[in-house]
Structure 1
């Protein structure tokens, strides 16, 4: 067992390339989807929770108030396209392609190509319910920005049981 596996911290994988967080502040590959939060271009107080399911490419996009995105009618809206582009920057093209199970011609994969290769379909009803949990995780990540930088453990992050008996 390596040192990081015995510690109470997880390895942080650096982004494939630096990215700006203003447009897409939160992106993750989780729960069988590429999902995240995308800022509105017209209203500073509005964000969109967008997702694309792995394999089926079923997509969902709605505001933080659960109102459907006006641009997501039968194809990806600009929020989903931005999410895909930022995922490529964060995780790298190969990892996004592998996770979403996209078949792309060799050497032709970038954010724009991935968007055109996937044929969007209207999401099943349960896909849109995931928006609440994605937005909740995003807010939880924002809360950690409020903590002062310290090297001591945060009590709410100590949910793992000890791996060896304490005497």
Structure 2
């Protein structure tokens, strides 16, 4: 298990992951507290998708990255570190340490095309499953579906 590169605030981007050859996550709407956007960027091609939780397309993602995708990249850099995000998305930032702005600049400079939003339901479902664990009462009994997580062992 890898610790976050830096602590991040969960209000704007409550869920971010590097999975399935993409950077993907859930980004809160700036105008409606009940709306979230499911955003993703594919590794290598930088094809992007952004839509609401009820599958309406994002108005800002017309031909280029919207603010939701930019926020997603920024929070991914906080969560995983710029180097890991750049490596996962296959972004070559040149010399020096990559930054969120540098990663985003390389991807937008490549003129990525919008992708299909067919993965939005899967990402949103993962987010909801993630939230369900927050509603559980504190307990020390193991959860069968969490058995694959590494555990810390104490030495007596």
Say whether the fold is shared (TM-score over 0.5). Answer: yes
Question: SS of the counterpart of 1:34?
Answer: strand
Q: Which residue of 2 is the match for residue 142 of structure 1?
A: 131
User: Which SS does the other structure have where 1:65 is aligned?
Assistant: coil
**Equivalent position of 2:114 in the other structure:** 123
Give 5+ residue unaligned stretches, structure 1. 1-11, 161-167
What is the deviation of 1:106? 1.6
Q: Give the ranges of 4+ consecutive aligned residues of structure 1 lying more than 6 Å apart after TM superposition.
A: none
- Unaligned segments of structure 2, at least 5 residues: 150-156
| Secondary structure at 2:131 match in 1 | helix
Change in CA separation of 1:51 and 1:145 when aligned onto 2, cut-off 3 Å: same
The question of whether the paired residues in 1 share the 8 Å contact of 2:83 and 2:97 is answered with no
Give the TM-score, by structure 1 length.
Answer: 0.83
Match of 1:65 among 35, 54, 65: 54
Larger Rg, first or second structure (1 or 2): 1
* Secondary structure of 1:28's aligned partner: strand
Q: 63, 79, 89: which is aligned to 1:90?
A: 79
**Which stretch of structure 1 is more off in the superposition, 105-114 or 95-104?**
105-114
The answer to whether the 8 A contact 1:60-1:122 is kept is no
SS, match of residue 125 in structure 2:
helix
